[in-house]
Amino acid sequence: MVRYATRRILALIPTLFGVSLVVFLMIHLIPGDPASAFLRENASAEDVARVTERLGLNKPLPQQYVDWLGRILRLDLGESLHTSLPVAGQLAAKLPATAELAITAMVIATVVGLVLGVVAGMRRNTALDFGPMALGLVGVSMPIFWLGLMAIYLFAVNLRVLPPSTRGPEPDQVRTGFYTIDYLLMGDVSGFVNAVSFLLMPSFVLATVPLAVIARQTRSAMLEVLHQDYVRTAWAKGLRERRVVLRHVMKNALLPVITVVGLQVGLLLSGAFLTETVFSWPGLATYVVAAINGRDYPVVQGTVLIFAVIFVFVNLLVDLSYAWLDPRIKYS
Partner 1 sequence: MRPKWFNAFAVAVISAVVLGACTTQQPGSGSSPTAAARQGGTFRYGQSGDAAALDPWNVTDGNSLQITEQIFESLVAYKPQTFEIVPNLADSWTTSSDKTQWTFKLHPGIKFTDGTDFDADAVVFNFDRARNTKFQYRNSKPVADDYGYYSDMWGGFDGDSIITKVEAVDKTTVRFTTKTAFGPFLANMGMGTFGLVSPKSIKDNPDGFMLPGSQGAAGTGPFMFKPGSWQKDQQITLERNPNYWRKDDKGVQLPYLDKVVIRAIPDTQSRLAELKAGTIDAMRDFTPADISAIKADPNLQLISRPSFNVGYLGINIHKAPLDKLEVRKAIAMAINKQAIADSIYAGQAKPATQFLPKGVVGYDESADFYKYSQDEAKKLLQQAGVSNVTVDLWYMPVSRPYYPEPKKIAEAFASDLAKVGITVKLQSIDWTTYRTNARKNAMDMWLLGWTGDNGDPDNWVCVFFCNTKENGSWDSATAQQAVKTMKDAATETDNAKRDQLYKQVSGLIKQDVPRIPMFNAEVPVAASKKVQGYIPHPKGSEEFTLVQISK
Regarding 74 and contact with partner 1 (CB under 8 A), the answer is no
Return d(Cα 125, Cα 119) in angstroms, integer. 11
> How many CA atoms does the CB half-sphere of 159 hold within 13 Å?
10
What is the per-residue burial (b if ≥16 Cβ within 10 Å, else e) of 175-186? eebbbbbbbbee
In degrees and rounded to multiples of 5, residue 266 shows phi and psi of: -65, -45
DSSP-based three-state secondary structure for 143? coil
Least Å distance between CB 159 and partner 1?
Answer: 6
Regarding 79 and contact with partner 1 (CB under 8 A), the answer is yes
Regarding 107 and contact with partner 1 (CB under 8 A), the answer is no
- Nearby residues of 4 by Cβ (< 8 Å), 6 or more positions away: 320, 331, 332
**Which residue stretch of 4-12, 290-298, 304-312, 317-325 sits at the interface with partner 1 (rule: CB under 8 A)?**
290-298
**Which residue stretch of 82-90, 206-214, 220-228, 251-259 sits at the interface with partner 1 (rule: CB under 8 A)?**
82-90
Regarding 64 and contact with partner 1 (CB under 8 A), the answer is no
What is the per-residue burial (b if ≥16 Cβ within 10 Å, else e) of 188-197? beebbebbbe
Regarding 32 and contact with partner 1 (CB under 8 A), the answer is yes
Regarding 202 and contact with partner 1 (CB under 8 A), the answer is no
Nearer to partner 1, 176 or 286 (CB): 286
Least Å distance between CB 323 and partner 1?
Answer: 33
Mask for 223-242, x = binds partner 1 (CB under 8 A): ------------------x-
Q: At what angle do helices 189-226 and 127-141 cross, to 10 degrees?
A: 120
Interface with partner 1 (CB under 8 A): 30-33, 36-45, 47-48, 50-51, 54-55, 79, 81-85, 90, 93-94, 119, 123, 128, 131, 149, 152-160, 163-167, 170, 241, 277-280, 282, 286-287, 290, 293-295
